Amino acid sequence: MTRSLTGMTVLITGASSGIGAALAEVLAQQGARLALVARRRDKLEALVARLSGSGHLVIPADVADPRACAGAIAQACSAFGRLDTLVCNAGYGLVAGIAATDEEQWLAILRTNLLGTTACIRAAAPLLLVQPLRDGWRGQVMIVSSALARRGRPDAGAYSATKAAQLSVAEALRIEWAEQRIAVTSVHPIHTDTEFHGAAAGRRWLVGAAEPRQTPAHVAARMVAAIRRPQAEVWPHRGSRWALALGALWAWPIDRYLTRRLAEERAAVLSPEAAKSKG
């Protein structure tokens, strides 16, 4: 059964830019009521000012703090009375080799990307599990992971690990809550043109000229389709799904590709001008 977006209540973490903001724009156009969560209040307020519809909530919160997650979910649930879709999208990248990633960096990225996700799910559970069905579903949890969930990226191993952990959470939860008619969907974008690469911690996140990329609007459109008709996984770039599935069976071609790319990235760090002229 297709879920109607008109009047649907959706909470989006990481809504102040990129994929979260693009998703908010499409959902608002379709008549959804939104609770928008991120740390930058000014960005959320500017977003709400340009959204269609009214009654959207701005909830400044840091998802690395579980009490802030609980507060954000409670505020949305009490204003809307139900939560149809919880989108756990807030996250950031970290560019550093595994041996160079210190304990503090590991804990920080796990707190935001992984525990920020699970804290929101835990806080939403009491309402999600008892609210009445709407269009055949009690609710939905959508987790924005990454294509890197299926293959760790060199020099972004800690970030990749948080994305793989989010996928494991989605896989387990999907079965745990199936009987209650709560859909669980993981989303696996490839490189998307957002603030993400500029905001990443550690070294600069380099993007190869030949690397496929997509727009946040494209990712948001695929997410909206999976909110209307819940599905287990969303891969906005279909080719990457099949390449990574084959890579799980047959590792060496992907090892070879990533080895070459890492060498190019490291050369670009040492000599940015030479890398630019190579294109």
Residues forming contacts to ligand NAP in the complex (CB under 6 A) are 13-20, 38-40, 43, 62-64, 89-92, 112, 144, 146, 189, 191-192, 194-196, 199
CA distance 24 to 220: 8
Closest contact distance (angstroms) between CB of 149 and ligand NAP is: 9
Residue found under tokens 């599935």: 245
CA distance 56 to 45: 10
C-beta closer to ligand NAP: residue 86 or 131: 86
Number of residue whose CB is nearest ligand NAP: 18
Closest contact distance (angstroms) between CB of 3 and ligand NAP is: 22
> Does the annotation count 159 as an active-site position?
yes
Of 28, 119, 159, 226, which one is the catalytic site residue? Answer: 159
C-beta closer to ligand NAP: residue 131 or 192: 192
Closest contact distance (angstroms) between CB of 207 and ligand NAP is: 9
Closest contact distance (angstroms) between CB of 191 and ligand NAP is: 4
C-beta closer to ligand NAP: residue 9 or 112: 112
C-beta closer to ligand NAP: residue 101 or 146: 146
Q: Which residues have a catalytic role annotated?
A: 159
